[in-house]
Amino acid sequence: MNPTSPTPNTRREFLGKTAAVGAGALTVAQSAWAAGSDQIKVGLIGSGGRGSGAANQALSTKQEGVVLHAICDAFKEKAEGALSNLRTKHADKVKVDDSRIFSGLDGYKKVIDSCDLVILTTPPGFRPYHFEAAILAGKHVFMEKPVAVDAPGVRKVLEMAKVADEKNLKVVVGLQRRYQNCYQDALRQVKEQDIIGEIVAGQVYWNGGGIWFRDRQPGQSELMYQVNNWYHFTWLCGDHINEQHIHNIDVANWFLGGPPVSAQGMGGRQQRVDKKWGQIYDHHYVEYTYANGVRVNSQCRHQSGVYNAVREEFTGTKGKIYLDNAGRCYANNHKGETIWKYRPGGAASGADAAADGAAAKGRRNARRSGDPDPYQVEHDTLQAAIRDNKPLNNAYYGAESTMTAVLGRMATYSGKEIKWEEALNSKVQHMPAIVTTETKAPVEPNADGWYPIAIPGQKVPGVEIV
Ligand SMILES: NC(=O)c1ccc[n+]([C@@H]2O[C@H](COP(=O)([O-])OP(=O)(O)OC[C@H]3O[C@@H](n4cnc5c(N)ncnc54)[C@H](O)[C@@H]3O)[C@@H](O)[C@H]2O)c1
């Protein structure tokens, strides 16, 4: 696989790829600005919290001619609510006729048909199949992480990533640390300036309080209850190691230059024990082994009253680097002396910068100190790539980091050591390729209301792991 930066390929590689594809494919990719049209029609699929945010960002770029053209959500009122909010922010750019507000589980097809660029922000289980539909229809894509919940979904995304390249389509994945200045600068310090030497170990954390719960609505089918309350079902969410902790796991893959070779770990439910909490764990701990035996320890937790942290750190032969998305990124040598500190605004950094880094002290958020919002940069970058016809396809690393999180879940659910190849080739499919409102829910509660929950080392009826 091909772990890539936001602009992954060289111009030469890009020209090689586009030259190899047929004229039809190029026509598809040049359907908007590149073909001289003055409009790019954006479609939103999954108009909840993040979808509303991503649509706002897509309409907030400096590009002329970007309009929101169609919208859908599994639940019509959510599509209408998001639309109403977007209209108040972008009255001149929201051009969604009532006939282009779709609902149900097949609305995505109609949005894809009518737009040039689609935003895929449903629960992640649907992502591979929505991505497939968008790419086969020749549409550019912004899709949120994670890009799947199981290995067949990851393989689908990888297959479609290649088709996207062949069709010259642009794809951004919402792993926004890759678009954040402090992380990019830190990576340059590690790879180009060699400030910590060779990485020999790492720690990545997403330890936080918990997550929302959505009650069953009167008359709601089991399937639609789960779709609405998606976080708590593995087939829709992939568990929080996949849904949230992927951000930190992705940073490990990025800094180490590829995915791990194996994982083993432990996890379970200690605070979130009631049957109402569906299937997911409230904590996972995974020891990932990378090439040359480099170990990265990963922790994620949804518990209250305990140590919370969302950050990453890597130990090298010469020192240690500490990263977080509030911009508090710095490196120490093994004597504990600061050898680099990130300075918002992209100023040169190093030992001198560390000395006067006091100016930045106390700033809790790099964005407040002048750095661009990485969520906005994702859309600026995507639209610029479409306009200028520059290569951009994050689907490879998005799939690879999703697979790394899924590998971790396989390890914690099973309690066994799992190899990367075994995980990637797994046939266990939590998310059915086709789900309609009539589909039977992939997991059902038993007579006492319990959903199947993995127990490490035991075979649980209804739980398949690898
Ligand atoms: N990059 C980030 O920092 C970040 C932050 C938050 C969420 N996310 C990601 O964004 C995605 C959505 O998360 P959210 O917080 O917006 O959740 P959400 O529940 O607020 O929104 C999801 C929406 O999708 C709708 N939906 C479900 N199935 C659908 C289908 N088949 N077709 C159309 N609509 C469907 C739901 O009704 C809901 O409105 C997740 O993958 C999540 O991991 C990323």
Q: DSSP letters of 11-51?
A: HHHHHHHHHHS-HHHHHHHTSSGGGT-S-EEEEEES-SHHH
Residue range 255-266: mean pLDDT, rounded: 98
Say what the pLDDT of residue 193 is: 98
The CB density around residue 446, as the number of other CB atoms within 10 Å, is 11
| Main-chain phi, psi angles of 356, to 5 degrees | -100, 20
Say what the pLDDT of residue 356 is: 33
Which residue is closest in CA terms to ligand 1's atom 9?
144
Which residue has tokens 């389509």? 169
Say what the pLDDT of residue 355 is: 32
Cis before residue 146, ω within 30 degrees of 0?
yes
Residue range 211-216: mean pLDDT, rounded: 98
DSSP assignment string, 322-363: EE-TTS--EEEETTS-EEEE--TTT---SHHHHHTGGGGTT-
Whether 328 is in the pocket of ligand 1, judged by its Cβ within 6 Å, is: no
Residues of CATH 3.40.50.720 domain(s) within the chain?
11-177+375-393
- C-alpha of residue 122 to centroid of ligand 1, in Å: 4
Counting Cα atoms < 13 Å in the Cβ hemisphere of 229 gives: 19
CA distances from 464 to 150, 235, 417 (A): 11, 11, 16
The CATH class for the domain spanning 11-177+375-393 reads: alpha beta
AA identity, residue 409: R
- C-alpha of residue 145 to centroid of ligand 1, in Å: 10
Answer yes or no: are the C-beta atoms of 151 and 424 closer than 8 Å.
Answer: yes
Say what the pLDDT of residue 189 is: 98
DSSP assignment string, 391-443: --B-HHHHHHHHHHHHHHHHHHHH-S-EEHHHHHT----SS-S---TTSPPSS
- For the stretch 275-306, pLDDT in tens is 999 999 999 999 999 999 999 999 999 999 99
Pairing state between β 40-45 and 319-323:
unpaired
DSSP single-letter state for residue 304: S
Which residue is closest in CA terms to ligand 1's atom 13?
50
> 1 pLDDT exceeds 80?
no
Hey, CA dihedral for 385, 386, 392, 394, is it positive or negative? positive
23: left (phi over 0), alpha (psi -120 to 50) or beta: alpha
Burial-class residue 276 by CB neighbours within 10 Å (0-12, 13-18, 19+): middle
Nearest in space to 328 (alpha carbons), one of 366, 302, 383? 366
Retrieve residue 33's tokens: 């600005």
d(CA 429, CA 57): 33
- For the stretch 350-376, pLDDT in tens is 433 333 333 334 334 555 568 999 999
d(CA 324, CA 373): 14
Whether 325 is in the pocket of ligand 1, judged by its Cβ within 6 Å, is: no
Residue range 181-186: mean pLDDT, rounded: 98
Say what the pLDDT of residue 218 is: 97
- For the stretch 397-449, pLDDT in tens is 999 999 999 999 999 999 999 999 999 999 999 999 999 999 999 999 999 99
Nearest in space to 202 (alpha carbons), one of 242, 260, 147, 284? 260
The CB density around residue 220, as the number of other CB atoms within 10 Å, is 15
Is 3.30.360.10 the CATH classification of the domain at 181-371? yes
Say what the pLDDT of residue 350 is: 40
Nearest in space to 109 (alpha carbons), one of 87, 134, 92? 134
pLDDT above 70 covers a percentage of the chain that reads 87
Helix (H), strand (E) at residue 86: helix 76-89
d(CA 181, CA 366): 9
Helix (H), strand (E) at residue 191: helix 181-191
Q: Which of 44, 45, 47, 50 to mutate to test the pocket of ligand 1 (most atoms within 8 A of CB)?
A: 50
Residues of CATH 3.30.360.10 domain(s) within the chain?
181-371
Nearest in space to 280 (alpha carbons), one of 104, 128, 405? 405
Hey, CA dihedral for 45, 240, 231, 366, is it positive or negative? negative
Name the average pLDDT for the chain.
90
- pTM here is 0.91
Q: Which of 71, 120, 122, 226 to mutate to test the pocket of ligand 1 (most atoms within 8 A of CB)?
A: 122
Whether 45 is in the pocket of ligand 1, judged by its Cβ within 6 Å, is: yes
> 33 pLDDT exceeds 90?
no
Helices (H), 101-150: 107-114, 127-136
Longest Cα pair distance anywhere in the chain, in angstroms? 66
Which residue is closest in CA terms to ligand 1's atom 18?
48
Retrieve residue 416's tokens: 């066994």
Q: Which atom of ligand 1 is nearest to the CA of 105?
A: 31
The total number of residues shown for the chain amounts to 466
> 126 pLDDT exceeds 50?
yes
Residue range 149-156: mean pLDDT, rounded: 98
> 29 pLDDT exceeds 70?
no
Residue range 221-238: mean pLDDT, rounded: 98
Say what the pLDDT of residue 30 is: 55
- C-alpha of residue 448 to centroid of ligand 1, in Å: 29
